[in-house]
Chains A and B, each alone.
Chain A
Amino acid sequence: MAQIPNLDNAPINLTSIRDQSQKELITILKNIRGKKCLVIDPKLGGSLSLIVQTSLLKEHGVELRHLTAEPIQTECTKVVYLVRAQIDLMKFICSHVHTDVSKGLQREYFVYFVPRRAVACEKILEEEKIHHLMTIGEYPLYIVPLDEDVLSFELDLGFKECSVDGDMSSLWHIAKAIHKLEFAFGLIPNVRAKGKASVRVADILNRMQAEEPVNSSDMGVPEINTLILLDREVDMVTPMCSQLTYEGLLDEFLRVNNGAVELDSSVMGVQQEGKKIKVPLNSSDKLFKEIRDLNFEVVVQVLRQKATSMKQDYTEMTTTTQSVSELKDFVKKLNSLPEMTRHINLAQHLSTFTSKPSFLGWLDMEHTIVEAQSYDICFEYIEEMIHKQEPLVSVLRLLILFSVTNAGLPKKNFDYLRRELLHSYGFEHMATLNGLEKAGLLRKQESKSNWLTVKRALQLVVEDTDTANPNDISYVFSGYAPLSIRLVQQAVRSGWRPVEEILKLLPGPHSEAKRSGFASSPSLETLPGTPSLDKVGDGRRSLVLVVFIGGVTFAEISALRFLSAQEGMAYELIVGTTKIISGHTLTETFIEKL
Chain B
Amino acid sequence: MAAVSVAAEWQLLYNRYYRKPEIYSMQWKNKVDLSRNKVACAPFGGPIAVIRDDSKIVQLYAESALRKLRIFNSAGVQIAETVWKNPGGRLIGMGWTDDQILVCVTQDGTVYRYNIHAEVIESNVSMGQECFEHSVVECVFWGNGMVCINEANQLFCIPDFKNPNPIKLADPNLEELPLCIAVIEPQYTMSGNVEVLLAVEDHVLLVEEDGIQQVGAGVGPLQKMVVSRNGKLLASFTHDGRLLVMSTDFSKIIFENSCETALPPEQLAWCGMDSVLLYWDDMLLMVGPYGDPVRYLYDEPIILIPECDGVRILTNASMEFLQRVPDSTVSIFKIGSTLPAALLFDALDHFDRRSAKADENLRLIRSSLPEAVEACIDAAGHEFDVSRQRTLLRAASYGQAFSSHFQRDRFQEMSKTLRVLNAVRNHDIGIPLTIQQYKLLTPSVLVGRLINAHQHVLALRISEYLGMNQEVVIMHWACAKITASLAIPDASLLEILLDKLRICKGISYAAVAAHADKSGRRKLAAMLVEHEPRSSKQVPLLLSIGEEDTALSKATESGDTDLVYLVLFHIWQKRPALELFGTIQARPLARDLFISYARCYKHEFLKDFFLSTGQLQDVSFLLWKESWELAKNPMASKGSPLHGPRIKLIEKAQSLFAETKEHTFESKAAEEHAKLLRMQHELEVTTKQAIFVDSSISDTIRTCIVLGNHRAAMKVRTEFKVSEKRWYWLKVFALATIRDWDALEKFSREKRPPIGYRPFVEACVDADEKGEALKYIPKLADPRERAEAYARIGMAKEAADAASQAKDGELLGRLKLSFAQNAAASSIFDTLKDRLSFQGS
Q: Which of A361-395 contact B (CB under 8 A)?
A: 383-384, 387-389
Are B665's CB and A88's CB within 8 A? no
Identity of the chain A residue whose Cβ is nearest the Cβ of B557 in the assembled complex: A207
Q: Which of B558, B669, B755 contacts A427 (CB 8 A)?
A: B669
Smallest distance from the beta carbon of B147 to chain A beta carbons, Å? 39
Which residues of chain A have C-beta atoms less than 8 A from B670's C-beta? 427, 430
Smallest distance from the beta carbon of A113 to chain B beta carbons, Å? 11
Q: Which of A168, A175, A204, A211 contacts B589 (CB 8 A)?
A: A168
Interface size in chain B (residues, C-beta < 8 A):
53
Are B725's CB and A387's CB within 8 A? yes
Q: Does A183 contact B (CB under 8 A)?
A: no
Are A431's CB and B625's CB within 8 A? yes
Q: Does A451 contact B (CB under 8 A)?
A: no
Identity of the chain B residue whose Cβ is nearest the Cβ of A170 in the assembled complex: B561
Q: Which of A157-184 contact B (CB under 8 A)?
A: 161, 165-169, 171-172, 175
Q: Does B247 contact A (CB under 8 A)?
A: no
Q: Does A501 contact B (CB under 8 A)?
A: no
Identity of the chain A residue whose Cβ is nearest the Cβ of B536 in the assembled complex: A211
Q: A172-B560, A427-B669, A430-B669 are in contact. Are A210 and B533 (CB under 8 A)?
A: yes
Are B559's CB and A423's CB within 8 A? no
Q: Mark A532-555, 1 if CB is under 8 A from B, else 0.
A: 000000000000000000000000
Q: Does A10 contact B (CB under 8 A)?
A: no
Q: How large is the interface on A (under 10, 10 to 19, 20 to 34, 35 or more residues)?
A: 35 or more
Smallest distance from the beta carbon of B314 to chain A beta carbons, Å? 51
Are B625's CB and A167's CB within 8 A? no
Q: A165-B595, A167-B593, A210-B533 are in contact. Are A424 and B698 (CB under 8 A)?
A: yes
CA distance A269 to B814 in the complex (A): 30
Q: A166-B592, A167-B593, A389-B698 are in contact. Are A420 and B788 (CB under 8 A)?
A: no
Which residues of chain A have C-beta atoms less than 8 A from B726's C-beta? 387, 420, 423-424
Most chain A CB inside 10 Å of its own CB: which residue of B566, B569, B698: B698
Extra contacts, 10 of them, besides A119-B566, A120-B565, A211-B533 (Cβ < 8 A), are A119-B562, A166-B596, A167-B561, A171-B559, A172-B560, A172-B562, A422-B669, A427-B673, A430-B621, A594-B628
Q: Does A434 contact B (CB under 8 A)?
A: yes
Are A415's CB and B665's CB within 8 A? yes
Are B666's CB and A423's CB within 8 A? no
CA distance A357 to B620 in the complex (A): 43
CA distance A165 to B788 in the complex (A): 46
Are B597's CB and A120's CB within 8 A? yes
Q: Does A194 contact B (CB under 8 A)?
A: no
Q: Does A75 contact B (CB under 8 A)?
A: no
Q: Which of A277-310 contact B (CB under 8 A)?
A: none
Interface SS of A by simple majority: helix
Are A428's CB and B628's CB within 8 A? yes
Q: Mark B568-609, 1 if CB is under 8 A from A, else 0.
A: 010000000000000000001101110111001100000000
Are A203's CB and B596's CB within 8 A? no
CB pairs A–B below 8 angstroms (17 shown):
A88-B600, A119-B565, A120-B597, A123-B565, A165-B595, A165-B596, A166-B591, A166-B595, A168-B559, A172-B560, A200-B559, A387-B730, A419-B665, A423-B696, A424-B696, A427-B676, A430-B669
CA distance A200 to B589 in the complex (A): 13
Q: Mark B623-643, 1 if CB is under 8 A from A, else 0.
A: 011001100000000000000
Are B559's CB and A118's CB within 8 A? no
Are B589's CB and A119's CB within 8 A? no
CA distance A211 to B509 in the complex (A): 13
Q: Does B729 contact A (CB under 8 A)?
A: yes
Are B625's CB and A207's CB within 8 A? no
Q: Which of A207, A210, A388, A434 contacts B559 (CB 8 A)?
A: A207
Top 9 nearest A-B pairs by Cβ distance?
A: A166-B592, A426-B696, A204-B559, A169-B561, A427-B673, A594-B628, A119-B565, A423-B697, A387-B729
Which residues of chain B have C-beta atoms less than 8 A from A175's C-beta? 559
Q: Which of A99-148 contact B (CB under 8 A)?
A: 116-120, 123-124, 127
Identity of the chain B residue whose Cβ is nearest the Cβ of A117 in the assembled complex: B562
Which residues of chain A have C-beta atoms less than 8 A from B629's C-beta? 594
CA distance A415 to B588 in the complex (A): 28
Q: Mark A407-436, 1 if CB is under 8 A from B, else 0.
A: 000000001001110111111101100100
Smallest distance from the beta carbon of B610 to chain A beta carbons, Å? 14
Q: Does A64 contact B (CB under 8 A)?
A: no
Q: Which of B535, B672, B788 contacts A211 (CB 8 A)?
A: B535
CA distance A494 to B795 in the complex (A): 58
Smallest distance from the beta carbon of B127 to chain A beta carbons, Å? 36
Which residues of chain B have C-beta atoms less than 8 A from A360's C-beta? 814
Identity of the chain A residue whose Cβ is nearest the Cβ of B563 in the assembled complex: A119
Smallest distance from the beta carbon of A587 to chain B beta carbons, Å? 19
Which residues of chain B have C-beta atoms less than 8 A from A203's C-beta? 559
CA distance A389 to B625 in the complex (A): 24
Q: Does B500 contact A (CB under 8 A)?
A: no
Are B669's CB and A167's CB within 8 A? no
Q: Mark B97-109, 1 if CB is under 8 A from A, else 0.
A: 0000000000000
Which residues of chain B have C-beta atoms less than 8 A from A88's C-beta? 600
Q: Does A236 contact B (CB under 8 A)?
A: no
Q: A166-B589, A387-B725, A427-B672 are in contact. Are A127 and B596 (CB under 8 A)?
A: no
CA distance A210 to B792 in the complex (A): 66
Interface SS of B by simple majority: helix
Which residues of chain A have C-beta atoms less than 8 A from B814's C-beta? 360
Q: Does A87 contact B (CB under 8 A)?
A: yes
Are A357's CB and B788's CB within 8 A? yes
Q: Mark A233-275, 1 if CB is under 8 A from B, else 0.
A: 0000000000000000000000000000000000000000000
Q: Does B256 contact A (CB under 8 A)?
A: no
Are A419's CB and B669's CB within 8 A? yes
Smallest distance from the beta carbon of B151 to chain A beta carbons, Å? 47
Smallest distance from the beta carbon of A418 to chain B beta carbons, Å? 7
Identity of the chain B residue whose Cβ is nearest the Cβ of A85 in the assembled complex: B562
Q: Which of B562, B592, B600, B628 contacts A118 (CB 8 A)?
A: B562
CA distance A87 to B592 in the complex (A): 14
Q: Does B518 contact A (CB under 8 A)?
A: no
Which residues of chain A have C-beta atoms less than 8 A from B755's C-beta? 384
Are A388's CB and B733's CB within 8 A? yes
Are A165's CB and B696's CB within 8 A? no
Q: Which of B596, B625, B695, B818 contacts A594 (CB 8 A)?
A: B625
Q: A165-B592, A167-B596, A387-B726 are in contact. Are A423 and B720 (CB under 8 A)?
A: yes
Q: A127-B601, A166-B591, A426-B696 are in contact. Are A118 and B621 (CB under 8 A)?
A: no
Which residues of chain A have C-beta atoms less than 8 A from B725's C-beta? 383-384, 387
Which residues of chain A have C-beta atoms less than 8 A from B695's C-beta? 426
Q: A203-B559, A415-B665 are in contact. Are A167 and B535 (CB under 8 A)?
A: no
Are B694's CB and A426's CB within 8 A? yes
Are B729's CB and A388's CB within 8 A? yes
CA distance A423 to B668 in the complex (A): 12
CA distance A120 to B593 in the complex (A): 9
Which residues of chain A have C-beta atoms less than 8 A from B297's C-beta? none
CA distance A430 to B673 in the complex (A): 10
Most chain B CB inside 10 Å of its own CB: which residue of A119, A212, A357, A422: A119
CA distance A427 to B666 in the complex (A): 10
Smallest distance from the beta carbon of A511 to chain B beta carbons, Å? 15
Which residues of chain B have C-beta atoms less than 8 A from A211's C-beta? 533-535
Smallest distance from the beta carbon of A304 to chain B beta carbons, Å? 15
Identity of the chain B residue whose Cβ is nearest the Cβ of A383 in the assembled complex: B725
Smallest distance from the beta carbon of A342 to chain B beta carbons, Å? 25
CA distance A529 to B561 in the complex (A): 34
Are A119's CB and B733's CB within 8 A? no
Are A124's CB and B601's CB within 8 A? yes
CA distance A52 to B669 in the complex (A): 49
Are A425's CB and B595's CB within 8 A? no
CA distance A420 to B624 in the complex (A): 19
Q: A166-B592, A427-B669 are in contact. Are A207 and B558 (CB under 8 A)?
A: yes
Which residues of chain A have C-beta atoms less than 8 A from B262's C-beta? none
Q: Does B335 contact A (CB under 8 A)?
A: no
CA distance A210 to B600 in the complex (A): 35
Q: Does B722 contact A (CB under 8 A)?
A: yes
